[in-house]
Amino acid sequence: MDFRDLPEEAAFRSEVRAFIDAECPPQIRRRGFNAMFGGGGWDDIRVSTDDYRALNASWARTLASRGWIAPAWPKEYGGAGLTVMQQFIFNQEMANAGAPRGGNYGIGTGWAGPTIILYGNEEQKKRYLPGIVLGDDIWCQGFSEPGAGSDLAALQTRAVKDGDDYVINGQKIWTSGAHVSKYMILLARTDPEAPKHKGISYFILDMKAPGITVRPLVNMADNHDFNEVFFDNVRVPKENLIGEENRGWYVGTTTLDFERSGIATSVSHSLMVEHLADFMREHAGTGVIARNPELRNEVADRAIEAAVESMLCTTVISMQNRGLVPNKEGSIAKLFSSQLDVRISETAMKALGLYGQLRRGSARAPANGRIESTYIYATTSTIGGGTSEIQRNIIATRGLGLPRA
């Protein structure tokens, strides 16, 4: 098989690369472990400096002017109408350059917006999509509850019709970014008598609506990323229902498909391995690296695994590019990628020796504590978007035809 770009793909890759070189300020670029936690996401919103925010906002506007905040969205909704393969190339080049995705890339661009494009009416598209493609509005996802995670259809938050509104009561948990979000995509039960998958509806919630309480959950890296969210008689206008009442499960699974298909991160893993190899070369004669020659073999294994991950991602993308829907292939890539997160950060922590225990802020913490931070966070990628056990269940049953446990 020839993995080289076709001529038009190579031309697009050069265009993206030249654009990033010319337009993306070097001060906001971060690669390898530096692009990991503490270098992006909610954490940046919390700890970054005013200068960084201003440069990032200006970069977001530059991306938005080309439709490159949401590159694969149709042009009529403010995207660039890229094909799946072009978007893959775009993502590779952005990750390779360490360029931030602009604005509030994530739930809004990655899965709330695409779900609204598929299931929303014209009014809803006009109202919600522009804020996402301009990088202005942050979105959160109110799906999981204390008794409903892997078994999401067991959710108990209620939405009761009352005149022109629905009245929401209940609780969500692990809601990433709820404390900084403008809107939430919410799954709530509208028919408690129906079989559990059939009585759920999908809403958009204004996070400023009266009756919403957001309570922080601080994780073991000492970051406030996710939250508990409580609803006490929160009124949602019926215009905020996405799709039909009681058909929200099917809308929600579409959102989850978008979420899972974006999870594998082969370029960032290759860069993390490169970053680790750089670190080991720089410290070759010292400390644990000098005492433990086996570490070289371990890093070589991680390099092989990052290459395998790249092949798995390419398989998924090439299926999508041919209009096929990856199913077990998506689960294989997600499972391999999240377990690799754990293995790379474990190898990196071994290479750091006792310095690995120093946290961000300590003058002697290698890579400003981001390796330690990545190590602590790595487990979360084996849980979010469907746990590793659930992915194995999918591969075993749908992929290998084994009976359900």
Q: Which is nearer to ligand FAD, 90 or 226 (CB)?
A: 226
The amino acid occupying position 176 is S
CB of 283 to ligand FAD, least distance (A): 31
Strand, helix or coil for residue 47: helix
Token pair, residue 276, equals 């680790």
Residues 6 or more apart whose Cβ sits within 8 Å of residue 352: 288, 366, 371, 372
**Among the residue ranges 59-67, 127-135, 142-150, 285-293, the one whose residues contact ligand FAD (CB under 6 A):** 142-150
Pick one of 13, 48, 130, 149: the residue that binds ligand FAD (CB under 6 A). Answer: 149
Residues 6 or more apart whose Cβ sits within 8 Å of residue 16: 89, 90, 93, 94
Q: Which is nearer to ligand FAD, 115 or 176 (CB)?
A: 176
Pairwise CA distance, residues 382 & 190, whole Å = 31
Residue (of 194, 201, 152) closest to 172 by Cα position: 152
Instruction: Determine whether 304 is exposed, middle or buried from the number of CB atoms within 10 Å of its CB (0-12, 13-18, 19+).
Output: exposed
Residue (of 228, 179, 186, 191) closest to 205 by Cα position: 186
Establish whether 305 is a catalytic residue. Answer: no
**Among the residue ranges 61-69, 96-104, 141-149, 282-290, the one whose residues contact ligand FAD (CB under 6 A):** 141-149
CB of 247 to ligand FAD, least distance (A): 19
* Residues 117 and 162: beta-carbon distance below 8 Å: no
Residue 384 binds ligand FAD, judged by CB under 6 A: yes
Site residues for ligand FAD, window 225-254 (CB under 6 A)?
226
**Among the residue ranges 139-147, 194-202, 235-243, 327-335, the one whose residues contact ligand FAD (CB under 6 A):** 139-147
Out of 93, 259, 298, 305, pick the active-site residue.
259
Site residues for ligand FAD, window 155-194 (CB under 6 A)?
174-176
Residue 380 binds ligand FAD, judged by CB under 6 A: yes
Angle made by CA atoms 250, 254, 259, in degrees to the nearest 5: 145
Pairwise CA distance, residues 184 & 49, whole Å = 27
Using only the alpha carbons of the chain, give its radius of gyration. 22
Residue 270 binds ligand FAD, judged by CB under 6 A: no
The amino acid occupying position 99 is A
Site residues for ligand FAD, window 353-372 (CB under 6 A)?
none
Pairwise CA distance, residues 83 & 190, whole Å = 37
CB of 398 to ligand FAD, least distance (A): 14
Compute, in degrees rounded to 10, the torsion defined by CA atoms 183, 204, 209, 126.
70
Residue 222 binds ligand FAD, judged by CB under 6 A: no
**Among the residue ranges 22-30, 122-130, 137-145, 240-248, the one whose residues contact ligand FAD (CB under 6 A):** 137-145
Q: Which is nearer to ligand FAD, 34 or 144 (CB)?
A: 144
Q: Which is nearer to ligand FAD, 78 or 110 (CB)?
A: 110
Residues 6 or more apart whose Cβ sits within 8 Å of residue 373: 36, 37, 38, 221, 359, 360
CB of 173 to ligand FAD, least distance (A): 7
The CA-based diameter of the chain, rounded to the nearest angstrom, is: 73
Residue 42 binds ligand FAD, judged by CB under 6 A: no
**Among the residue ranges 8-16, 34-42, 283-291, 387-395, the one whose residues contact ligand FAD (CB under 6 A):** 387-395
* Residues 168 and 205: beta-carbon distance below 8 Å: yes
Pick one of 144, 201, 255, 266: the residue that binds ligand FAD (CB under 6 A). Answer: 144
The amino acid occupying position 36 is M
- Residue whose beta carbon is closest to ligand FAD: 149
Pick one of 104, 141, 266, 268: the residue that binds ligand FAD (CB under 6 A). Answer: 141
Pick one of 27, 65, 121, 150: the residue that binds ligand FAD (CB under 6 A). Answer: 150
CB of 201 to ligand FAD, least distance (A): 16
How many residues sit close enough to ligand FAD to count as binding (CB under 6 A)? 17
Residue (of 184, 187, 183, 178) closest to 155 by Cα position: 187
| Residue whose entry in the numeric block shows the structure tokens 């204390």 | 146
Pick one of 14, 389, 398, 402: the residue that binds ligand FAD (CB under 6 A). Answer: 389
Distance of CA 186 to the CA centre of its chain: 17
- Contact residues for ligand FAD, defined by CB under 6 A: 140-141, 143-144, 149-150, 174-176, 226, 380, 383-384, 387, 389-390, 393
Report, as residue numbers or ranges, the catalytic residues.
259
